[in-house]
């Protein structure tokens, strides 16, 4: 059973360590989540989506590359269409990037 949502969040890089932690925290705090990552991380995102559902939140997986403008547009459009809006965007950056 899903309780009333506090909002909708997109988390890019959601299958990675920091992204995964952010997703789980946002779900725990009552947000519905749009998971995003490349096709290489799709299986990890699907497993994470199950964890989010167990917390009673709505979740979708949108595969795409945030460096590609059309993929970003698709991510936002799909999130708004399927989850009803967009309130938070989190883009965890790996520590090895400057």
Residue spans per domain, the chain: 10-90
Average pLDDT over residues 14-36: 95
Which residues face 83 on adjacent strands?
none
Average pLDDT over residues 26-45: 96
Select 10-90's CATH number: 3.10.450.50, 3.50.50.60, 3.40.50.1370, 3.40.50.720.
3.40.50.720
Candidates 19, 16, 17; CA nearest to 33 is: 19
**What is the percent of the chain where pLDDT is above 70?**
92
* pTM (two decimals): 0.90
Mean pLDDT of the chain: 92
Q: pLDDT-based confidence at 3, cuts 50/70/90?
A: confident
Which residues face 88 on adjacent strands?
9
Q: pLDDT-based confidence at 94, cuts 50/70/90?
A: low
């Amino acid at each position: 059973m899903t309780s009333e949502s506090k909002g909708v969040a997109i988390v890019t890089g959601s299958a990675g360590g920091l992204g995964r932690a952010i997703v789980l925290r946002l779900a725990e705090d009552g947000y519905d989540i749009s998971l995003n990552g490349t096709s290489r991380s799709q299986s990890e995102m699907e497993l994470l989506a199950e964890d989010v559902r167990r917390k009673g939140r709505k979740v979708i997986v949108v595969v795409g590359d945030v460096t590609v403008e059309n993929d970003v547009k698709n991510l936002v459009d799909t999130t708004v269409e399927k989850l009803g809006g967009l309130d938070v965007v989190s883009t965890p950056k790996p520590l090895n990037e400057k």
